[in-house]
Every structure is written in structure tokens, then in C-alpha cells.
Chains A and B, each alone.
Chain A
Amino acid sequence: MTTAFYRRDRSQQPLPLSPGYKSTVLRAPVRPLHALEQTVLEQTGPALGHTPLGPLDHDLIRNAATTGDALGERIYVFGRVLDENARPVPNALIEVWQANAAGRYAHVRDGYLAPLDPNFSGCGRCLSDAEGRYLFRTIKPGPYPWPNNGSDWRPAHIHLSVFGEAFSQRLITQLYFEGDPLIPLCPIVNTIPDKDAVDRLVARLDLRNQEPFDCLAYRFDIVLRGRRQTHFENRTEGL
């Protein structure tokens, strides 16, 4: 049977309207969100993490290669997908996209002058295992300028889209890299008012998990919403 999820803790989330990030000014709703009780619809979700993926889907260094490996600093990004109760979330689907090592996206709408890499598409995906562990291999993306307050610069980041076991757990976010001086200057990072929450978007260098003479490793754990404890299970729907 399904049980309800904890209400989303909005204090840990970005503010919808954050004028420093100009695109929010006309896109953030003005009216408050309307709170509803969950039904079984929100407590379940599509089983996207139960279909096996292609053997190179998690390897962005090779999955779009034509003449050789993608250029850049070779890294693993790995960690665990957990819920708020610290339980592993198995079979989570994680889709990722990112700029190349020069800070350029392989996207028709990106006009940044930095070069494309013919061996890199910036698209990948992986599944978490029974203990919630996931891993992908990629190159460290470059920072890039964007028109916001004149030329702002994005810190190096990877976009992650996560499906847990229920629609209520849906999450799209970005991970940043430990030590990047652009993080505190970024208007998109600064849409999150809680500094500890920002810190949880920073992947940590993990030298012990490197691939020697090949690849550095960064650790990034993902936490999805958790279900209320089972003693609430039999409460009447709709109260």
C-alpha cells in the first residue's frame, strides 16, 4: 500500500521569485501555492527506473564519441539516492545534461563562442542500485557566461533530473563542484536562501575513489522526499 509523503520543506528550496535571477521576474507565480492532501496518484509514479539502460548511457566520455574520448578533466560523479528517512531509493532514474569542458552546450540555442567537442553530447543517464548507489563518468564541465546582469558566469555544474518511486519525489536540480569560486557569486545558486541547503548541492572531491592515472571522483548524495512513518498509514483519507 502507499503512504503519504512528508510535506515539502520549502525552507530548503529556492525562492520562486529571486530578482537577481532575472528570468524569475515574469515566470514566478504571485499567488501562494494551494496546499492539498495527496492521493494515491501523487504517492505512486512511473516506473522509469525498471527498464535496463544502454551500456554507455552512464559514460558521457564515450557515449557520443566519434573519433575518440571527450576532451576535458575526466571525473566520476557518484553517490547515493536516499529519502528523508535516510532509506536508500533503488531504481531511481537519473538523467543528466551538461556543458562540455569549454563551457559550451551541444544545443541549437547555445551561441557561446567556446568550441563544441565532436565527441561529447553532454547527455547521459543512470539508475540507482538496490542500495541507492549511482555512478556516471563524464568530463568536468566548464563555467560559461550568460546574459543576466550583464555577463554573469555560471559555476561549473551538471543538471540532474531524478525520478524516485513516486511523482511526489520528482526533482530537477544542479550539482556544483567543491572549491569553485563562482558558486557564491551565481544568481541561480543564490535563489536558495539557506546556505546549508546550497552546501548540499556541492559535490565533494573524493580522492580515495579515483581511478588511478585515469579519473578523479566527486561524491554527491541526493535526498528525495520521504514517506510518513507507518503509524500514520491507516488515517482516514481526506482529513
Chain B
Amino acid sequence: MNDRLKETPSQTAGPYVHIGTAPQAIGRPALPHQPGPVIESNTGEAIVIEGLIRDGSGTPVRDAMLEIWQADGMGRVGEYGLFARATTDFDTGIFRFQTVRPGQHAEGHAPHVAMLIFARGINIHLHTRMYFPEDRETLTKDPDMRRLEPEAVATLVAAEDGKTEDGLPLYRFDIRLQGENETVFFDI
């Protein structure tokens, strides 16, 4: 144990995170192979996730960067796992991902999208999950959810929000950093 190294401390990504991670957000071309907000995969049904991050006063966070990591449509992770990155809009605060509906990657665990949030004022990234409203009934049996109050679980469930202009199922997932209906953040 004593010869273990200590993890490098995190520091905030700050308000200029776009320069290094999402240059397209500030009018520059993305670098080749740099992850963006759209996942192309033929393993499942294409869906869109949209949402807003609000701070403790209810104000939208307009300078955040988010990353998602999930199983593919067949429930496979590892080399088949799907990753994307988005930033919140400078005016509206809306973030938007296009991905595929994840399959179940572990026995008894409801399908979900893992999500990290980086921003000014967030000293170490926040880790949350988005679950699907179709699974609301079985979610209470999920081993990761059973120690949470129902109101807390509810902060992790997206809402069906119709279809996008391209006809894709649209899910709305709002995140509350602090205060009433504060989103559950994990230590995993």
C-alpha cells in the first residue's frame, strides 16, 4: 500500500475548456478524430438527448462541457462502448447529444448513459447517469438505485419529449447542480 502513488488532483476545466476540447464551439475546426456530440452506430435505435444544467439559483450553466459513455445498442462496452462530447450553448445553455439507445451491459442493471460534467466552478468533474423513462418501473429493483429515495432516483430519469425535426426520439434530461431536486452525483 505504501508504495502506491497518489492520484493527480483535479482542477476546474474553467470557462475556456472549448479551446482544447471542443474548438468547433468557438468557431474553429475540430481536430481530426476529436469526439463531438454525435455518435454514429448501427447497433441500435438512434435517439437524441437534450438538456439544461442549472446552478443553485436556477440559472442555466452556459460554459460546461459534458461527456457520455455507454454500452452500444447490443449492450456491449469496452471496445464497442460509445463515447461523445458536447458543450452547452453560450446563449441558451442547451446541450445536445445524438446517440443510440444503449443495451443492458450488466445483469440486473437498467440501461443508462454515464455522463460527466466539467465547468468553471466545478473543481472535480461530476458523474451522473441518465436512465430511460421506459424503465421507470423496473428501476426500483436496480441494485444501484435501491438505496436511493424515489425522489432522488427521479432526478436520473429523462423525460420523453416527442421527436426531433429528423423524426428521432427526443429525451430531455435536465441537471440541477445544487438545491431543490438536486441531481444525484456518484462516486464510482
Contacts and interface: CB of A to CB of B under 8 A. Distances in A.
Interface of A: 2, 7-10, 12-16, 18, 21-31, 33-42, 44-48, 51, 53-54, 57, 82-86, 95-97, 105-110, 121-125, 159, 161, 167-168, 170-174, 188-189, 191-192, 194, 197-198, 200-201, 222-226, 237-238
Contacts of B17: 97, 159, 172
Given A96-B20, A109-B16, A27 B9 contact: no
A123 B20 contact: yes
Contact of B8 (A28, A37, A222): A222
Contacts of B77: 40-41, 44
Given A27-B121, A159-B13, A41 B114 contact: yes
A65 to B, nearest CB: 15
Given A15-B123, A27-B55, A40-B106, A84 B11 contact: no
Contacts of A223: 5-8
Given A16-B122, A39-B105, 10 more contacts: A23-B12, A25-B56, A27-B177, A35-B188, A46-B83, A82-B5, A85-B5, A125-B20, A167-B69, A223-B8
B96 interface: no
A148 B171 CA distance: 36
Contacts of A189: 11
B120 A34 contact: no
A51 B83 CA distance: 15
A172 B10 contact: yes
Contact of A192 (B9, B57, B186): B9
A51 B31 CA distance: 12
Contacts, number: 240
Given A36-B144, A41-B114, A23 B120 contact: yes
Interface in B6-32: 6-21, 23, 26-28, 31-32
Nearest to A47: B79
A208 to B, nearest CB: 23
28 contacts: A8-B7, A26-B59, A26-B177, A31-B182, A31-B184, A41-B70, A41-B81, A44-B77, A45-B69, A45-B83, A46-B35, A48-B35, A57-B31, A85-B5, A105-B16, A121-B19, A122-B19, A125-B31, A161-B13, A161-B20, A173-B11, A174-B12, A188-B11, A191-B12, A191-B123, A201-B8, A238-B108, A238-B143
Nearest to B80: A44
A170 B27 CA distance: 26
A96 B31 CA distance: 13
Interface in B118-132: 118-126
Contact of B185 (A34, A82, A84): A34
B8, B106, B119: residue with the most chain A Cβ atoms closer than 10 Å = B8
B40 interface: no
Given A27-B178, A84-B7, A201-B11, A107 B18 contact: yes
Contacts of A48: 33, 35, 83
Nearest to A16: B123
A172 B123 contact: no
Nearest to A107: B16
A21 B110 CA distance: 38
Contacts of A124: 20
A34 B27 contact: no
A157 B13 CA distance: 12
B175 to A, nearest CB: 10
A210 B127 CA distance: 39
Contacts of B125: 170, 172
